[in-house]
Amino acid sequence: MTDQALRGKPEKRTTTGSKASRHGEWVVHLVLAGAAVIMVAPFVWQLLTIFKSNREASQTPPTFLPENPTTGAFTTFFGSVPFWAQLTVSVSALVLRVIGQLAVSALAGFAFARLRFPGRRLLFGLFIAMLMVPSQLFLIGQFEIIRDFGMLDSIPALAIPGMFSAFGIFLMRQAFMSIPAGFEEAARLDGAGPLRTFWYVMLPMARPTMAALAVLTSLYSWNDLLWPLIVTPRGNNRPVTVGLAGLQGQFGTDYPTLMAGALVASLPLIVIFLVLQRQFFSGIASSGLKG
Amino acid sequence: MITDVASSPPRRRTRRRGGGLLPSPGWGYLMIAPALVGLVALYVWPFLTTFGKSFMDVPAFGPGTFTGVDNYTELLGDERFWQALRNSALYTAILLLGLPVAVVLAALIEQVSRGRAGYRVLFFLPVVTLPVAVSMVWRFIYNGDFGLLNYVLSRLGVDGQYWVADATFTIWAVGVVGIWMSLGINLIILGAGLQSIPPDLYEASALDGAGRVRQFFRITLPLLSPSLFLVTVLTVISALQMFDLIFVMLRSVNNTALADSKTIVYLFYEKAFVEFDQGYAAAIAIVLLMVIMVATLVQFRLQRRWVFYD
């Protein structure tokens, strides 16, 4: 998606009467607002529940606003879950994975887009073929490799497989292909080799794509449940997702505490999203290239 | 492609120097080396071993023994596998039913002159919220005894149900959450498609007296079909791999509905990492790959009938 597309575009209606179209726009807003309410309702209910007592949260008929607002749910949550440790694990794994993926994808993407070497097409085809295979097919083998290297229950174990993404390589290749060759030639005339051209000329120009790839990777890394569940069999270095899934077994029907945990665990990424909306949207739009 | 053409003359002239699109095997291999090592070790090799294991009986510890197609024949006779396949298919179908909603909403968002960004953010919130967290919230809302949904339904005079504890409803309940979670992503992809439709088409048709609804079906929908096709393909691929929602919304000690609500990937997870029956799990994964390939292939075949490329 282009920047222009993200910012919106000028009004396209010209012939229909301005009064009628403004009238129509109210109806459209009404429908959209209704849909937005449905979309947001679960979050509102979650927020309201957090400040209720467990008894109030599970009574019928339910109360809408908390009768005696309490922050006890947060106290219970932070008192019984090593949340800060889990957060450290999630953030470390995320940073490691994002840096790793950007480095691997940018290097390979540049080579595939801008250098010629025997087997280039074949190798690229091999990478792209991996895009179509469901990730579960790799799980057993990845688990065994991590185990055989003695890396189970470690933070690198959480991050390493996600660093190597055919999608990331494809995305970076597309970005480098779209940079006009003139820049590269200018750098070459100045005596820059492939590495310098890559670092000083190409990489800065591919920055928007790298930002989009970084936020997408962050999203996947933060949300991942199945892989962390598998590689932390002893329970050390469990990220927020696994901790949260375990919370349910621990607190069963203590809904205010569960809702508080769900909020606290989701908040970091929601905040990042609100700050970096553009990158999220362009990342998603470019993931459309996948098909 | 444009870049290839543009850089071809210098390529010919400066053949011996390193850089550009001229042969540079040294740097080329060096730069793809990290990707190559990682992808081969963590993707290609695991793929091959999984494929191999699907023909073996693999105990929890120690090497496996070759058993031919035993895993597959066992799979085909396993009612739980067919149940899981049906559940995944139903879940996928429910998510596809949500796509018209996404198309209408995406088109409506393009209609408004103000507040577009705000709507996008609101619709996108479920995408950036932890699926595990989302599942917990919905599990609470779906609760049969004191959940919000049953309360709202009772006010409307409809009988409540045990949405996540009665296997009649579980996949539907989870499917609604799946639609809710993926709507934001679909809106972004469809929105990009809508923005690529030239505005003068609408102007011309308005001059011809076409109304909004007619414009939607005659201009928007055909020109949006490539994006819609993409969203359909992505939806099917990801829906067939659904795991988290079942894991969090249905798993509990006394939820008997889970047994009848497992999806393919949930079954795979249980076999591989709870029961440590890796050979059988590998066969499930290979069958999943084939299901996804066939589903995608069928869609590419069908696209000729309804996708409009100019």
Instruction: Inform me whether the pLDDT recorded for B8 exceeds 60.
Output: no
Report DSSP state, residue A33: H
**Are residue A70 and residue A165 in the same domain, yes or no?**
no
* A206 and A222 fall within a common domain: yes
Asked whether residue A248 falls in the same domain as residue A122, the answer is: yes
Domain hosting residue A201, numbered range: 82-290
Say if residue A35 is in the same domain as residue A175: no
Q: Are A192 and A245 in a shared domain?
A: yes
Q: How many domains does chain A have?
A: 2
CB B98 within 8 A of CB B183: yes
pLDDT at position A22: 60
pLDDT range class, residue B267, cuts 50, 70, 90: very high
In this structure, are residues B107 and B217 in contact, taking their beta carbons and an 8 Å threshold? no
Q: Reply yes or no on whether the pLDDT at B20 is more than 60.
A: no
H or E element in which residue B76 lies: helix B70-76
The domain boundary residue, chosen from A26, A43, A76: A76
Percentage, residues of chain B above pLDDT 70:
92
Enumerate the domain spans of chain B.
Answer: 2-53, 74-306
For residue A291 the two structure tokens come to 């098909």
The pLDDT assigned to B179 comes to 96
Does the pLDDT value for residue B16 go beyond 90? no
**Using one digit for the tens of pLDDT, what is the confidence trace for B79-97?**
999 999 999 999 999 999 9
Residues A187 and A256 in one domain: yes
Within a domain: residue A215? Answer: yes
Instruction: Let me know whether A220 and A202 are in one domain.
Output: yes
Residues contacting B277, CB < 8 A, separation 6+: B58, B271
In the prediction, which pLDDT does A287 show?
62
C-alpha span between B255 and B173 (Å, rounded): 15
Asked if A226 reaches chain B (Cβ–Cβ under 8 Å), the answer is yes
Question: Which residue bears the tokens 């796509």?
Answer: B99
Pick from A76, A106, A124: which residue ends a domain? A76
Q: Identify the bridge partners of residue A116 per DSSP, sorted by sequence position.
A: B23
Question: For chain A, how long is the longest CA-to-CA vector?
Answer: 77
Mean pLDDT value across residues B28-45:
92
Verify that A103 and A213 share a domain, yes or no.
Answer: yes
Predicted TM-score (pTM) of the model is 0.85
Chain B residues in contact with A1 by the CB 8 A cut-off are 188, 191-192, 195
Residue A2 lies in a domain: no
Domain presence at residue A208: yes
> Among A140, A33, A168, A109, which Cα is nearest to B31's?
A109
Q: Is A136 on the interface with B (CB under 8 A)?
A: yes
Residue B95 has what pLDDT? 97
> Which phi-psi region, left, alpha or beta, contains residue A150 (left: φ > 0; alpha: ψ -120 to 50)?
left
pLDDT mean over B140-161: 91
Rounded to an integer, what distance in angstroms lies between the CA atom of residue B23 and that of residue B19?
A: 8
Q: Is A8 domain-assigned?
A: no
* Token representation of residue B185: 């992503």
- Tell me the CA distances in angstroms from A140 to A145, A231, B46, one per residue in order: 9, 10, 7
CATH number at residue A165: 1.10.3720.10
Measured between CB atoms, does B210 come within 8 Å of chain A?
A: no
Q: Could you tell me if B220 lies within 8 Å of chain A, comparing CB atoms?
A: no
Q: Is the peptide bond before A233 cis (omega within 30 degrees of 0)?
A: no
Token pair, residue A222, equals 């933060």
C-alpha closest to that of B92 among B185, B219, B182, B201: B182
CB within 8 Å of chain B, chain A residues 252-271:
252, 255, 258-259, 261-263, 265-266, 269-270
| Secondary structure (3-state) at A116 | strand
pLDDT higher than threshold 60 for residue B173: yes
| In this structure, CATH architecture of domain B74-306 | Orthogonal Bundle (1.10)
Contact B192, B107 (CB under 8 A): no
Question: Does some domain include residue A246?
Answer: yes
Task: Verify whether the Cβ–Cβ distance A126 to B243 is below 8 Å.
Answer: no
Cα–Cα distances (Å) from B83 to B167, B264, B273, in that order, read 11, 9, 20
Distance from CA of B5 to the nearest CA of A (A): 9
Q: Is the pLDDT of residue B7 over 50?
A: no
Give whole-number Cα distances, A85 to A88, A91, A92, A234, in Å. 5, 10, 11, 15
Whether A129 and A63 map to the same domain: the answer is: no
Task: Report the length, in residues, of chain B.
Answer: 310
Q: What's chain B's average pLDDT? A: 87
**A142 in the same domain as A249:** yes
Q: Between chains, do A45 and B126 touch, taking CB under 8 Å as contact? A: no
The nearest CA of chain A is from the CA of B176 a distance in Å of 11
Instruction: Give the confidence band of B21 by pLDDT, cuts at 50, 70, 90.
Output: low
Residue of A nearest to B122 (CA): A36
Residue A4 is assigned to a structural domain of this protein: no
Same domain, A108 and A221: yes
In this structure, the number of other CB atoms found within 10 A of the CB of residue B159 comes to 7
Q: Is the pLDDT of residue B104 over 70?
A: yes
Last residue of a domain, one of A9, A43, A76: A76
pLDDT tens-digit series, residues A185-206: 888 888 888 888 888 888 998 8
Across A252-279, average pLDDT: 90
Long-range contacts of A70-79 (CB under 8 A, 24+ apart): A72/A256, A73/A256, A73/A257, A73/A259, A73/A260, A74/A50, A74/A260, A74/A264, A76/A251, A76/A254, A76/A256, A76/A257, A76/A260, A77/A247, A77/A257, A77/A260, A77/A261, A77/A264
Are A34 and A163 in a shared domain?
no
> Residue A100: what residue type?
G
Please indicate, yes or no, if residue A227 is contained in any of the structural domains.
yes
The DSSP code sequence of A184-231 is HHHHHHTT--HHHIIIIIIHHHTHHHHHHHHHHHHHHHHH--HHHHHH
A5 is a domain residue: no
pLDDT class for B310, splitting at 50, 70, 90? low
Residue A6's pLDDT is what? 43
Q: Calculate mean pLDDT across residues B158-171.
A: 91
Contact flag B18-A110 (C-beta cutoff 8 Å): no
CA angle (B38 as vertex; A223, A166 as ends), nearest 5: 60
pLDDT at B117: 87
Our measurement of the distance from residue A185's CA atom to the centroid of its chain's CA atoms, rounded to an integer in Å, reads 36
Q: For residue B232, what is the nearest residue in chain A, using CA coordinates?
A: A291
Cα dihedral B171, B173, B174, B175, rounded to 10, equals 80
Say what the ipTM of the complex is: 0.83
